[in-house]
Amino acid sequence: MDWNATLYEERHGFVAEYGKGLLEFVPVDPRQAILDLGCGTGTLTSELAARAGTVLGLDASPEMVTAARARFPDIDFITGDALELSFENRFDTVFSNAVFHWLPDHDRLLKNIRRALKPGGRLVCEFGAKGNVAAVENAFARACEERGLRYESRFTFPEPEAFARQLAENRFTCELVVAYARPTVLQNGESGLRHWLRQFFAAELRPLPESAQEALTSRVEELARPSLWNGKAWVADYRRLRAVAHS
């Protein structure tokens, strides 16, 4: 999918803000090398840099990497696909926030990460768990259906038990694998949900004419309002999976 780095930075800064809670699982060690997988515009990569000797931010989106380099010129950022990593025995920690649910093949991903880690290295990650943004997705699917459009979710949101199993199958030792509800207030009041849809359902919306995009997002708002509008803001029904595991 295409990522709009400016929109992401301006309106979805909460993604990295929430991800800061994950940093407590990354020890401060000036000898360690860290890979920030799916680094986006680099907010968390810069926090990781303060905990490590070296840090590398990798992201599939050239636009995100350009924005990250402009914000943090002293940090290394490269364009790359998490499903095509070629690193071997290189990092003490692989860190990743809000990325794995965009990737269809977690088995392949974990094999790549294991290969990239030094023996005894650590994976620290958080992403969408089963049920994440279910109310938003259901409203979107129904609005599409009403217009004769087919919506097929592109997300991979596993249950923690299934992800723990995949980690074990790839010879990781799990320290922590949990799911938790994290209701998330979307910025920009009444416009919050439509901004969120424009960023995260960009692949579905962009092929449609502007008027159709407008009608679809308005209908999603109508359908989601009873469960997600609290009178002042949209509160998306996020459910996250957090994992810490060793290779």
Ligand X SMILES: C[S@@+](CC[C@H](N)C(=O)[O-])C[C@H]1O[C@@H](n2cnc3c(N)ncnc32)[C@H](O)[C@@H]1O
Chain residues in the site for ligand X (CB under 6 A): 3, 15-16, 19, 38-40, 43-44, 59-61, 64, 81-83, 97-99, 102-103
Q: How far is the CB of 51 from ligand X (least distance, A)?
A: 16
CA 2 – CA 219 distance, rounded (Å): 24
Provide the 3-class DSSP secondary structure of residue 170: coil
Between helix 192-200 and helix 210-228 the angle, nearest 10°, is 120
Least spacing, CB of residue 32 vs ligand X, in Å: 19
The CA distance from 246 to 93, in Å, is: 9
Residues 48 and 25: beta-carbon distance below 8 Å: no
For the CB of residue 66, give the shortest distance to ligand X in the complex, in Å.
12
Q: Which is nearer to ligand X, 81 or 175 (CB)?
A: 81
Structure tokens at 178: 């949990």
Cβ proximity to ligand X, 44 vs 228, nearer residue: 44
What tokens does 31 get? 């000898």
Least separation, in Å, of the C-beta of 108 and ligand X? 10
DSSP state of 3: -
Nearer to ligand X, 3 or 91 (CB): 3
In angstroms, give the least distance from the CB of 34 to ligand X: 13
Beta pairing class for 76-79 and 29-37: unpaired
**Residue 109 or 224 with smaller CB distance to ligand X:** 109
Question: Which residue from 109, 123, 117, 156 is spatially nearest to 243, judged by alpha carbons?
Answer: 123
- Among all chains, which residue has been given the structure tokens 């694998």? 177
Which residue type does 6 have? T
The nearer residue to ligand X, 15 or 26, going by C-beta atoms, is 15
Closest CB to ligand X among 40 and 121? 40
Q: Which residue is nearest to ligand X (CB)?
A: 40
CB of 212 to ligand X, least distance (A): 25
